[in-house]
């Protein structure tokens, strides 16, 4: 496998883009590689500028549940582009899109479209503070909610992988309002509520954590959060940027049967274009400008290309048996991988919910950030290099999810497992 062109671009990129990348985890420094520069993709295959082909298990970090360049999504975007790429004004498509989101996700009575997951969570927090008149928020170690100041505390994979504990440029005053607690630890949360009583505006949580590797909520965890928020008049925010439309049409809240007050969506709802959303009960959402005093705005919000892509994706996901298919494919790949790790006698444990999973390089169990962080990162890096060299493209971090898409067919899954087998043989021999 040659990577001459990627190397050339990497040299150029580092001169004009900080670290050569537009988002830190793409750098692949932690696994000791030059990142392949991607030229094109179709279905579950991506091709780099040197002509190397990979089976993709990243799916653009989650959005591509239908695979790359799905013909119906491409057609929808192309047709929309022919009519104009942005109006900064109301459109019929955004109304239809919002109607579909509200009809699918249990907690949504109203929804506001934005352009990134970061914007969605940041705006939801502002709204929760505005609606409650309180300032403090609770988040969980290892959960990532985008890079806005107050949420950049012990925030998951990018920071763990690069070893950045938090970020310079984030004033202590901002993070002092963020209580950072262990995931799945209801006692710690109960204590925090008792101590800060009526000061907590919101609890924000990934209902299945995906940014410290996949970590499911322990039985009773989400129910406990719901009960505590009800008791203290705090707004419960589910960050479903990853889980929304991945675990079910109604996301993790449908899957687990717990309804938050506000929900953040992103990734899948834009089919790979920059769109995200936050929404919830009408009485809370009506606090947002122009009907209420909490300000939030966006020039490209509800952009017609992104909305067209989102509508096409949501329609396809409504098809019969889609989530059963995803479950079947993911279960097959996950159990196949666990068997290979077992066969090779490697310490490992796996967490899977629907079509997202992580096999951790350690005995486990992994239930929170502290346990996730015990993974053998050096062994993972060797495994990763072997996988990529043999044509399987995973996220370059042991603290990320593997995403299965509808484009992964049986043959692809067999091929991934074959490559995993060879990679594991290489690192254990
Ligand atoms: C759960 C979660 N929330 C929010 C975000 C931020 O989304 P974006 O990268 O679109 O700003 C991410 C990104 O990975 C995420 O995984």
What would the pLDDT profile of 20-42 be if each residue is shown by its tens digit?
Answer: 999 999 999 999 999 999 999 99
pLDDT digit string (tens) for 78-134? 999 999 999 999 999 999 999 999 999 999 999 999 999 999 999 999 999 999 999
Q: Is 213 in the pocket of ligand 1 (CB under 6 A)?
A: no
Predicted confidence at residue 166, as pLDDT, reads 67
| β-bridge pairing 178-181 and 110-114 | unpaired
Coil, helix or strand for 348?
A: coil
Assess whether the C-beta atom of 377 lies below 6 angstroms from ligand 1.
Answer: no
Q: Which of 139, 267, 329, 390 is catalytic?
A: 267
pLDDT tens for 44-73 read 999 999 999 999 999 999 999 999 999 999
Burial 183-206 (b: 16+ CB within 10 A, else e): bbbbeebeebbeeeeebbbbbbbb
Q: Give me the mean pLDDT over the 299-316 stretch.
A: 97
**Predicted pLDDT of residue 197:** 79
Share of the chain above pLDDT 90, in %: 91
Residue 323: active-site member? no
**HSE toward the beta carbon, residue 239, CA cutoff 13 A:** 26
Extract the tokens encoding 166.
């938090």
Indicate the pLDDT class of residue 318, thresholds 50, 70 and 90: very high
Mean confidence (pLDDT) of the chain: 95
Distance 388 CA to ligand 1 centre (A): 24
- Whether 181 and 194 have beta carbons less than 8 Å apart is answered as no
Is the Cβ–Cβ distance between 136 and 179 less than 8 Å? yes
In the chain, list all ranges with CATH 3.90.1150.10: 4-69+322-428
Q: How many CA atoms lie within 13 A of 406 on its CB side?
A: 22
What is the structure's pLDDT at 157? 56
The closest alpha carbon to 244, from 231, 234, 253, belongs to: 253
Q: Give the position, in ligand 1's atom list, of the atom nearest the Cα of 156.
A: 16
Q: Which of 23-27, 150-154, 248-252, 261-265 has the lowest mean pLDDT?
A: 150-154
Mutate to test the pocket of ligand 1, among 23, 114, 117, 215 (most ligand atoms within 8 A of CB): 117
Ligand 1 pocket check for 400: Cβ under 6 Å: no
> Topology of domain 4-69+322-428, per CATH?
3.90.1150
Per-residue pLDDT for 158 more than 80? no
- Mean pLDDT, range 262-267, rounded to an integer: 98
Q: 157: CA distance to ligand 1 center in Å? A: 11
* Spatial contact of 148 and 167, defined as CB atoms under 8 Å apart: no
Name which of 294, 345, 355, 273 is nearest 65 in CA terms. Answer: 355
Mean pLDDT of 312-341: 97
Which residue bears the tokens 């890096």?
381
267 flagged as catalytic: yes
DSSP 12-81: HHHHHSGGG-SSGGGG-GGGT-PPPPEEEEEBTEEEETTS-EEEESSTTTTT-TT-BT-HHHHHHHHHHH
- What stretch of H or E contains 378? helix 377-389
CA-closest candidate to residue 352, choices 222, 255, 276, 254 = 255
Angle value at C-alpha 99, between 43 and 265, nearest 5 degrees:
55
Report CA 9 to chain centroid distance, whole Å.
27
d(CA 314, CA 309): 9
In the β-sheet with 53-56, what is the strand arrangement from edge to edge? 38-42, 45-48, 53-56, 392-393
Verify whether ligand 1 is closer than 6 Å to residue 157 (CB atom): no
pLDDT of residue 175: 79
Q: What is the pLDDT of residue 354?
A: 98
Least confident range of 145-154, 331-340, 353-362, 419-428: 145-154
* Given the residues 144, 183, 323, 393, the one annotated as active site: 144
Give CATH 3.40.640.10 domain extents, the chain.
Answer: 72-317
For residue 273, give the DSSP letter. Answer: S
Burial class (CB in 10 A: 0-12, 13-18, 19+), 293: exposed
Residue 282 burial (CB < 10 Å; 0-12/13-18/19+)? exposed
- pLDDT of 338 reads 98
> Beta-strand (E) ranges in 206-348?
235-239, 262-265, 276-280
116 Cβ below 6 A of ligand 1: yes
Q: Is 239 in the pocket of ligand 1 (CB under 6 A)?
A: yes
Q: Are 216 and 208 in contact (CB under 8 A)?
A: yes
CB atoms within 10 A of CB 223: 14
414 catalytic per annotation: no
118 CB under 6 A from ligand 1? yes
What pLDDT was estimated at residue 163? 46
What tokens appear for 228 in the block? Answer: 């505590």
Cis omega (within 30 of 0) for bond into 365 = yes
Predicted confidence (pLDDT) per residue in 370-390, tens digit: 999 999 999 999 999 999 999
Query: Could you say which of 3.40.1790.10, 3.40.50.620, 3.40.50.920, 3.40.640.10 is the CATH number of the domain covering 72-317?
Result: 3.40.640.10
């Amino acid at each position: 496998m040659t990577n001459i062109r990627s190397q050339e671009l990497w040299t150029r990129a580092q001169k004009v883009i900080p670290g050569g990348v537009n988002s830190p985890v793409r750098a692949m420094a932690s696994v000791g590689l030059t990142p392949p520069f991607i030229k094109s993709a179709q279905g579950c295959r991506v091709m780099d500028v040197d002509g190397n082909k990979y089976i993709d298990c990243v799916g653009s970090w989650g959005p591509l549940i239908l695979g790359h360049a799905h013909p119906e999504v491409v057609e929808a975007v192309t047709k929309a582009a022919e009519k104009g790429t942005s109006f900064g004004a109301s459109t019929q498509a955004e109304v239809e899109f919002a109607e579909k989101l509200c009809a699918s996700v249990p907690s949504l009575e109203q929804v506001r479209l934005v352009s990134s997951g970061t914007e969605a969570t940041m705006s939801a927090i502002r709204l929760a503070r505005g609606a409650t008149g309180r300032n403090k928020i609770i988040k969980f170690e290892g959960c990532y909610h985008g890079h806005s100041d107050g949420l950049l505390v012990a925030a998951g994979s990018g920071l763990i992988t690069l070893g950045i504990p938090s970020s310079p440029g984030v004033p202590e005053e901002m993070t002092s309002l963020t209580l950072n607690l262990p995931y799945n630890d209801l006692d710690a949360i109960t204590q925090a509520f008792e101590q800060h009583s009526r000061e907590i505006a919101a609890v924000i949580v990934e209902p299945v954590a995906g940014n410290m590797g996949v970590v499911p909520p322990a039985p009773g965890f989400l129910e406990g959060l719901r009960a505590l928020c009800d008791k203290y008049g705090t707004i419960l925010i589910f960050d479903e940027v990853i889980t929304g439309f991945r675990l079910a049409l109604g996301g993790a809240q449908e899957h687990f049967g717990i309804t938050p007050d506000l929900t953040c969506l992103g990734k899948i709802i834009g089919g790979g274009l920059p769109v995200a959303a936050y929404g919830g009960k009408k009485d809370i959402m009506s606090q947002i400008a122009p009907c209420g005093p909490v300000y939030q705005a966006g020039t490209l919000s509800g952009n017609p290309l992104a909305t067209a892509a989102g509508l096409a994706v949501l329609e396809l996901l409504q098809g019969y048996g889609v989530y059963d298919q995803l479950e079947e494919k993911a279960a097959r790949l996950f159990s196949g991988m666990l068997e290979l790790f077992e066969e090779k006698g490697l310490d490992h444990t796996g967490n899977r919910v629907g079509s997202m999973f992580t096999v951790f390089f350690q005995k486990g169990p992994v239930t929170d950030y502290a346990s996730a962080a015990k993974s053998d990162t050096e062994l993972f890096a060797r495994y990763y290099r072997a996988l990529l060299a043999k044509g399987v493209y995973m996220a370059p971090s042991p603290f990320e999810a593997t995403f299965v898409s509808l484009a992964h067919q049986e043959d692809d899954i067999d091929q991934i497992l074959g490559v995993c087998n060879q990679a594991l043989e290489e690192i254990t021999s």
